[in-house]
Amino acid sequence: MSQAITESNFHFKGQKSVYHGKVRDVYTLDNGLLVMVASDRISAFDHILPKGIPFKGQVLNQVATMFLEATKDIVPNWLIATPDPSVAVGIACEPIRIEMVIRGYLSGHAAREYKAGRRVLCGVTMPEGMIENDRFPEPIITPATKADEGHDEDISREEIIARGILPEETYQQLEKYTRALFQRGTEMAAKQGLILVDTKYEFGLKDGEIYLIDEIHTPDSSRYFYADGYEERQAKGEAQKQLSKEFVRQWLIENGFQGLEGQTMPVMPDEFVQTVTDRYIELYEKITGKSFVKSDTSDIADRIQKNVDDFLESL
């Protein structure tokens, strides 16, 4: 199997600090830039799985780059350059501690809540009579608090404003950007025969201006269905054919793990790891319409260090 990068300990020119997230390692430099390394770690139910997924970081980085470039007319974003297949460099912003989750269909977390009998999610009422993977009459926004550790928590628009997390004017602007980004992502997915089911966006502030930060429209932050056969599968009550991380969650559920106390993370066979890699590459090729070019994985850390060093020297 190809090698995977599951941890990073780089030292870049002007480095002030490093933050190790669930998937990304973010290096802050003294010139106001961030170096974001997309590792091959994979998380589900807010737990990092024991094995890395080869090429996953490259897929996420390159898909996110494409969509950031394609949406910068809607909202400014943090990205400046991608000096390595698994690295993005951009503007350091102050993160807004709310994830803007938008759902076009009753899937994933929303479907689990619906199945449990709940009809209100983050203050938004979901219609009666829906079945899993049905399309909402219009996309719903279901924000979540952004947790450094542990679970993100659902929160309503009203709570965000009442608790002073964000001024109402700022939150309304985030909703406006979220709907416009989702519409653009939906249109781009449709051209490739895909349905953008749901996704999340993260924003930050720089000199009082809102910027789109982190990744967008990747298989880690989004769920995609194949458009071909969607209606037929819904009519028959069949599961949708999808490209997302949901199949990893389903595998964990089938193996007795949902991140709950007392549960043990199952062992990931090499065959399953290879399957996950293949699914990520499939999404890359499907969503971009391009062939995936595998990067050199003989010494990923050395490759990243050299590419980033060369870029920083060129500034």
> Could you tell me which CATH number the domain at 95-244 has?
3.30.470.20
CB of 75 within 8 A of CB of 150? no
- Report residue 51 as tokens: 């094995």
Q: Which residues contact 1 (CB under 8 A, 6 or more apart)?
A: 54, 270, 273, 274
CB of 159 within 8 A of CB of 152? no
Closest-CA residue to 95 (of 217, 206, 199): 206
pLDDT for position 11: 95
| For the chain, domain boundaries | 95-244
- Report residue 166 as tokens: 């964000």
Q: What is the mean pLDDT of the chain?
A: 94
Q: What is the mean pLDDT of residues 14-31?
A: 95
pLDDT in tens, 91-111: 999 999 999 999 999 999 999
What residues does 153 pair with on adjacent strands?
A: 145
pLDDT at 149 over 80: no
pLDDT in tens, 222-232: 999 999 999 99
DSSP 21-55: -SSEEEEEETTSEEEEEE-S--EETTEE-SS--TT
pLDDT in tens, 152-185: 799 999 999 999 999 999 999 999 999 999 999 9
**Confidence class of residue 53 from pLDDT cuts 50, 70 and 90?**
very high
- Report residue 86 as tokens: 């698994």
pLDDT at 22 over 80: yes
pLDDT in tens, 70-85: 999 999 999 999 999 9
pTM score, whole prediction = 0.90
Tokens 């390692």 -> residue: 25
